[in-house]
Amino acid sequence: MATLVLHLRINGVFRQVPVTPTDTLLCVLRDRLGLTGTKRGCGEGECGACTVLFNGEAVCSCLIPAAEAEGADVITIEGLADGIRLHPIQQAFVDEEALQCGYCTPGMVLAAKALLDRVPNPTEDEIRTALCGNLCRCTGYTQIVRAVQRAAAVLRGETLGAGPGPVRAAVGEPVERIGAREKVTGRTVFAGDMQLPGMLHAAVVRSPHAHAEIESIRTEEALALNGVRAILTAADLPDVRFGLLAADEPILAVDRVRYVGDRVAVVAAVDAETALEAARRVKVRYRPLPAVLSVEEAARDGSPLVHPGVDGFPGGAFGMELVLDGNRCYEEETVDGDVDAAFEHADVVLDETYRTAPQHQASIEPHAAVAAPRGDGGVAIWTSTQAPFIVRQGVAAYLGLPMSQVRVVAMETGGAFGGKVSVFIEPMVAALALKTGQPVRMVYSRQEELEDARPRSATVIRVRTAAQADGTLLAREVDFLADSGAYADWTPAVVNSSLRACRGPYRVPNLRAKGAAVYTHKFNTGPFRAPGYPQLTFALESHMDELAAKLGMDPMELRRKNLLRNGEKTFSGTELKTDVLMRCFDTVTKAIADDPADEPHTAWGLACGEWEIGGFPASALLKVNEDGTVSLSVGSTDLTGSLTSIAQVVADELGIEMTELSASCIDTDTSPLAPLSGGSMVTYNMTHVAREGAKQLADELKKRAATALEAKPSQMEVSGLKVRLKKDPSKSVSFAGLVANEPAGITITTPALPATHSFAVHAVKVSVSPETGEVRVLRAISALDCGKAINPNMVKGQMCGGLVQGLGECLWEEIRFDGEGRVANIGFGDYRLPTAADVPEIECHIVEGETSTSRGHGCKGVGEPAHVPALAAAANAVCAAIGRRIYESPLSPERILGA
Amino acid sequence: MTRVNVTVDGVLCSDDVEPRTLLVHYLREVVGKVGTVVGCDTSNCGACTVHLDGRSVKSCNVLAVQADGHEVTTIEGIAPHGELHPMQQAFHDNHALQCGYCTPGMIMQAIDVLAETPNPTEEQIRVGLEGNLCRCTGYHNIVKAVAACASSMSEPTAATQGSEA
């Protein structure tokens, strides 16, 4: 390809770069110059992750043709700090915990800089408007706005009140997130930033049909393209199926494609453009077959079968065997009490059906992985995952390798939310690496994300509730249908865990709950933040508002009457030891009462939610370094700052500072085993094992010191990297001295903790335009029972982020299909995420006090419960504002005007 | 910038390079062939030995533009189908490597020695390898490996043109 040489100034340095005419400025920065602090999120100017300052203005570098940058002055995130001294905006982002995954952060920081260069004292509205081109999926923007306000004040030279500043590394303190400085400077290496010598790039050949037989695949023309190294189809791979729950999914389609975007072949070439061109030249002949796209239709007898001629599938990573009944891959019914009798004696019965759309995790970082062959015939993989050990298991299964020959390194995840649990990108790059003998990288495009990741299941939920005239709930029946898509993935577990929660956090003495996961000819759906619960809570909490109307009661009173109280049991089996749920409820209802929605077309909506936080056997590795500082290694990935919380607990127990502790995760070759990181389980379980480990390590050091000081271990205490005599702290031995001749370290494993339970109550105030159906979110409040907040800044981050994801789910987010099963909205232009300008500051109330059943310090979980009731609360607000009920999410302007 | 077209390990590479770029830097940094390593930059150690049109050269002593229109074979191109080249196998069988840093260049040079002298004496092997320094092995097993490879390849059908293998 003809090239030209570009001359420009980047971060103050004059550069000459050979480029091709099709290069964008983003390509120049990332691919030609290795400045990978600038991120690629969508490639079409919608997400803002690639924001740079271009002659002083914030622009999406993916929209600037390279040639247009001739002579330009470009500042990237790498150019902002002064050596290791952060720019005030970067420092403010760290101080205000205005970042979580860190993938949008470089662009966000530069967008903020462009604003503050222009407007030194912006209002909150001006900040939100200026940042509305930069999508963040984690934070919900509240802390970002605060960081920009803080930076503005610093840059104006104002002296600030006590900021977060340096704090003691103790439980309950807002300790700085591990890795925050790397994230605000663009130095964090995500999987898609990895560059190995001789690395090839991969592209996938995808099905254009929802259902078709593959008649032939011809690769000659593609292989003849200069630079193409390998093309693999199912015929080149072992005939193996795998999956999270059941083993029903091949890595490349075998004989038949089951959704538009299904993986048919995969190509490796010297660069990404060549790989894509080769993928286009692979000739696949299909014989289209009838497809079934609606979950209700698929559940009916006589529908086209997604897996014809198959009775069931063996277990996958979690060993769940599937027995198929038509397209139903999972069915369950539970009955508790005499439901029919209760319905017979009820004063009021309400029976309604609710529908929810598939919601995408929409992490700003797309799926990405790099694989490199190893000398022993195995493969090493660097990937963006929440489940490195499941990736290892999946790759080993798909490629027929022992786990000892598969090494998985979990890179920083640029947003995950459950979307980075399933195993599909890694086996493809691993197979290509083994075929070519070269490292191979694959990064999904935004279109691929929307067509072939694992979003939240669409559901159809019928709810029937029986109540007494005074509002006492008597019985409920639920029928829960989840659209699994072409493979089971996590959907049977979505059904199973949702059915357990059909009472909502209320007293419902009689319950019949049944549900099914149903195959359709669409992408498979997977785990997404509190799988099943936002959908179920939308149905249950809409139902509560409707029931109140039918009873002629205030919906808040109906809830208050039935909410679980002190001494009652949740469905997890946990007994409430305080009135924590009522405290959450009261906190929110009081805020509502103080700000009545008096204006026309304006209303509050409220919803209550809950989440069961499971226990798992956990392990951790701790060792004392030669100078007495400590290293911690865990096998869970650092989701949402969990690693910081785990480290904080260890530092607290050992009486050391965060700078005296290094914490790392996770390399499957060296880290202790851990299950997937998700379900709000990591902090609950891992802080427990880490604390136990720290205690044991301290005991060992005390024992050694006691010998040296001729005292008893029980007379010793640890502080300041020393073991001291309690009654005379001047008598001490340093950790360093204690390990000088004999290393000290432990691997600890603790059995699974019992499950614990979290509640969240959200309220949202909206105004709805009667002309356009447009919804404005005026206020959003969250009260969340998280046990002990180990790091309150991070707990708030989860609350804000979870609530805003729920607002998106309620108002804008929906993966739509055309009549042929193609995803109709294949980019962030059409799949609309909440922006900073769409949402208000999220008001967070951390409700502590109710401790978990754990024997530790009583933390629970926060990521999932923060999301659970948000969709329902916002939906109740919209329906109250328009005075009509909408039974299907999202509550788009079309549905609002049509209601 | 100057455009070069070089066939590296059987694949045509077209790249813009500065005229002063050394072949070894082109191979490592542009093409990504880091199997070819740099030990001295002054053509003393031979670690960067590759084949240019089938003959061994120290790639730190050749400009990338000199390779324009020619074929380069590196250590990564002599086992294209996953089976070790006979010389690689002989090094493996005879424990002819320790740290492995000089090994790529040593193997490329050894292949060239046998191409020129299919049945060399020990002295011919040692003289043939004198431009390639090894700090670990004392050369003993390297010489053994090359001799073993020569006997295994002296079958009438055996290929002696390593670079084409």
Per the CB < 8 A criterion, the answer to whether A782 and A140 are in contact is no
- The ranges of chain B with pLDDT < 50 are 157-165
User: What is the model's pLDDT at position B160?
Assistant: 41
d(CA B120, nearest CA chain A) in Å: 31
Residue of A nearest to B32 (CA): A198
CA distance linking residue A521 with residue A451, whole number of Å: 12
Residue of A nearest to B84 (CA): A375
Provide the CATH topology of domain A200-289+366-448: Aldehyde Oxidoreductase; domain 3 (3.90.1170)
Q: Where are the beta strands (DSSP E) in A128-234?
A: 200-206, 212-218, 228-233
User: B32 and A197 in contact by Cβ < 8 A?
Assistant: yes
| Residue A161: Cβ within 10 Å count | 5
User: What is the model's pLDDT at position A250?
Assistant: 98
Instruction: Tell me the chain A residues in contact with residue B11 when contact means C-beta distances shorter than 8 Å.
Output: 226-227, 270
pTM: 0.93
Interface test with A, best of B14, B81, B103 (most A CBs within 10 A): B14
Interval A876-890: pLDDT, tens: 999 999 999 999 999
Report yes or no: B32 at the A interface, CB cutoff 8 Å: yes
Residue A388: name the closest of A369, A373, A375 by CA: A369
Instruction: Tell me the chain A residues in contact with residue B12 when contact means C-beta distances shorter than 8 Å.
Output: 226
CA dihedral A105, A110, A112, A118 (to 10 degrees): 180
Report yes or no: B16 at the A interface, CB cutoff 8 Å: yes
For residue A188, pLDDT beyond 80: yes
Rounded to 5 degrees, what are φ and ψ at A318? -100, 5
Report yes or no: A199 at the B interface, CB cutoff 8 Å: yes
User: B32 and A199 in contact by Cβ < 8 A?
Assistant: yes
Interval A562-589: pLDDT, tens: 999 999 999 998 899 899 999 999 999 9
Interval A437-469: pLDDT, tens: 999 999 999 999 999 999 999 999 999 999 999
Q: The tokens of A157 are what?
A: 């030279």
User: What is the model's pLDDT at position A648?
Assistant: 95
CA distance linking residue B159 with residue B119, whole number of Å: 13
Interface test with B, best of A200, A226, A374 (most B CBs within 10 A): A226
Report yes or no: B34 at the A interface, CB cutoff 8 Å: yes
User: What is the model's pLDDT at position A640?
Assistant: 79
Provide the CATH topology of domain A618-750: Aldehyde Oxidoreductase; domain 4 (3.30.365)
User: B11 and A270 in contact by Cβ < 8 A?
Assistant: yes
Of A18, A197, A227, the CB nearest to B16: A18
Interface test with A, best of B11, B28, B85, B91 (most A CBs within 10 A): B11
User: What is the model's pLDDT at position A858?
Assistant: 85
For residue A855, pLDDT beyond 70: no
User: What is the model's pLDDT at position A850?
Assistant: 74
Report yes or no: A216 at the B interface, CB cutoff 8 Å: no
Query: Which residue ranges make up each domain of chain A?
Result: 1-187, 200-289+366-448, 563-614+754-898, 618-750
Of the CATH numbers 3.40.50.360, 2.40.50.100, 3.30.365.10, 3.30.420.40, which one belongs to the domain with range A563-614+754-898?
3.30.365.10
Interval A221-273: pLDDT, tens: 999 999 999 999 999 999 999 999 999 999 999 999 999 999 999 999 999 99
Rounded to 5 degrees, what are φ and ψ at A232? -115, 140
The neighbouring-strand residues paired with A633 are A621, A664
Adjacency order of strands within the sheet including A716-719: A716-719, A722-725, A728-734
Q: Is B55 exposed, middle or buried (0-12, 13-18, 19+ CB in 10 A)?
A: exposed
Distances (CA, A) of A149 to A82, A121, A128, A247, A780: 21, 8, 11, 51, 20
Residue A432: name the closest of A206, A279, A273, A236 by CA: A236
For residue A745, pLDDT beyond 70: yes
Residue of A nearest to B3 (CA): A3
CA distance linking residue A871 with residue A890, whole number of Å: 9
Of B1, B76, B82, the CB nearest to A5: B1
Of residues B131 and A855, the one with the higher pLDDT is B131
Report yes or no: A659 at the B interface, CB cutoff 8 Å: no
Would the ipTM clear 0.90, i.e. be above it? no
User: What is the model's pLDDT at position A895?
Assistant: 97
Interval A655-683: pLDDT, tens: 999 999 999 878 999 999 999 999 999 99
d(CA A197, nearest CA chain B) in Å: 5
User: A5 and B28 in contact by Cβ < 8 A?
Assistant: no
Report yes or no: B11 at the A interface, CB cutoff 8 Å: yes
Q: What is the mean pLDDT of chain A?
A: 96
Place A854 in a pLDDT band, splitting at 50, 70 and 90. Answer: low
Q: Which of residues 38-77 of B touch A (CB under 8 A)?
A: 76
Written out in words, the top-level CATH class of the domain with range A1-187 is mainly alpha
d(CA A228, nearest CA chain B) in Å: 9
How confident is the model over A336-364, as a mean pLDDT?
97
Instruction: Tell me the chain B residues in contact with residue A227 when contact means C-beta distances shorter than 8 Å.
Output: 11
User: B16 and A199 in contact by Cβ < 8 A?
Assistant: no
3-class secondary-structure state, position A605 = strand
User: What is the model's pLDDT at position B155?
Assistant: 62
User: What is the model's pLDDT at position A794?
Assistant: 95
For residue A710, pLDDT beyond 70: yes
Interval A123-165: pLDDT, tens: 999 999 999 999 999 999 999 999 999 999 999 999 876 555 5
Instruction: Tell me the chain B residues in contact with residue A197 when contact means C-beta distances shorter than 8 Å.
Output: 28, 32-34
Instruction: Tell me the chain B residues in contact with residue A226 when contact means C-beta distances shorter than 8 Å.
Output: 11-12
Place A211 in a pLDDT band, splitting at 50, 70 and 90. Answer: very high
Fold match between A563-614+754-898 and A618-750? Answer: yes
User: B31 and A198 in contact by Cβ < 8 A?
Assistant: yes
Of B3, B16, B34, the CB nearest to A198: B34
Instruction: Tell me the chain A residues in contact with residue B28 when contact means C-beta distances shorter than 8 Å.
Output: 197
User: B11 and A197 in contact by Cβ < 8 A?
Assistant: no
Interval B45-62: pLDDT, tens: 999 999 999 999 999 999
Report yes or no: B23 at the A interface, CB cutoff 8 Å: no
User: What is the model's pLDDT at position B162?
Assistant: 42
Q: Which domains does chain B have, with CATH numbers?
A: 2-77 (3.10.20.30), 86-159 (1.10.150.120)
